[in-house]
Amino acid sequence: MANYTAADIKALREATGAGMMDVKKALEEAGGDTAKATEILRVKGLKGVTKREGRSASNGLVTAHVADGVGTMVEVNCETDFVAKGEKFIALAQQVLDQAVATGAASVDDLLASELDGKSVKEMLDEANATIGEKIEVRHMARIEGPKVASYLHKTSPDLPAQIGVLFAFDGDEAVAKDVAMHIAAFSPSVFTREEIPAETVENERRIAEATAKEEGKPEAALPRIVEGRVNGFFAENVLLEQKFAKDQKKTVKQVLAEASTEGKGFARLRVGQA
């Protein structure tokens, strides 16, 4: 007869985040001793960390913090949506975010190398990896500053934590800034202004537009106008200030900000699993 109960299994799963069968095996090996079972799970889990390094962590969450004109956002990844919505993983992601805020980390590498309670964030994640039994990593982080910063977190599924996060630095109307942050979440611009797009990228778009127009048999005299129109279309798709505003397609984001006497300073957008 087993020396543990269903309540013991539930408690150990909640404490460690480990899978049902792993918890049962650990309790059996430990003779029902919860503390010993926890140690067994950790030891066995740490042995499997290296094996999990090559696995895909395409689930997870994005979380953000804003204070005093500084916005910080992290994407913490795991392998399954089951783990992503678990309390232990969500608490771990909050620890990572708090550390990013406290240290002012400028990159994922800086964040992972920073120390928290006597260990690096990387070591903390490896321990979580061991107990939960999934690859866990911080894939992206963002830090943005401005007179003010608006944040928006979006759930793509009601039973999962936020999968998309946005930070928008601005000076002006907070309500409009929040709307723009929501727009960024939905329309995923790649840059703030067209000047941020590399010249070679723009030139390549021009070549493609011209070749396409010729293939379509457009008149030679009309090519410059057609090419310019299609390149502007490329800008309108990728540049935040030139996108049609989500709440009013007759206006660009730039026009909406100007009408609200609000100046955008920059943005960051993260989506779970996106390169």
42: CATH: 1.10.8.10
Amino acid at 177: A
CB proximity list for 117: less than 8 A, separation 6 or greater:
124
Number of structural domains in the chain = 2
| 207 part of a folded domain | no
CA distance 270 to 164: 6
Give the pLDDT confidence score for residue 55 in this predicted structure. 59
CB proximity list for 120: less than 8 A, separation 6 or greater:
112, 113, 114
Give the pLDDT confidence score for residue 56 in this predicted structure. 60
Which tokens hold the place of 234?
Answer: 């490329």
Residues 267 and 132 in one domain: yes
Following DSSP, what letter does each residue of 214-244 receive, concatenated?
HHTT--GGGHHHHHHHHHHHHHHHHBGGGSE
CA distance 213 to 143: 42
| 227 part of a folded domain | no
Residues 66 and 140 in one domain: yes
Residues 78 and 184 in one domain: yes
Residues 89 and 37 in one domain: no
- Tell me, what DSSP letter sits at residue 272? T
Phi-psi map region of 197: left, alpha, beta (phi>0 left; psi -120 to 50 alpha): beta
Which tokens hold the place of 203?
Answer: 């030139």
Residues 153 and 81 in one domain: yes
Residues 40 and 66 in one domain: no
CA distance 152 to 267: 11
Strand pairing class (148-154; 115-116): unpaired
Give the pLDDT confidence score for residue 227 in this predicted structure. 93
Domain that holds residue 186: 59-192+261-271
Give the pLDDT confidence score for residue 47 in this predicted structure. 42
| 224 part of a folded domain | no
Count other Cβ atoms within 10 Å, centred on residue 30: 19
Residues 68 and 118 in one domain: yes
Residues 97 and 137 in one domain: yes
Residues of the chain with pLDDT under 50: 1, 46-52
Burial of 56 (0-12, 13-18, 19+ CB in 10 A): exposed
Count other Cβ atoms within 10 Å, centred on residue 97: 22
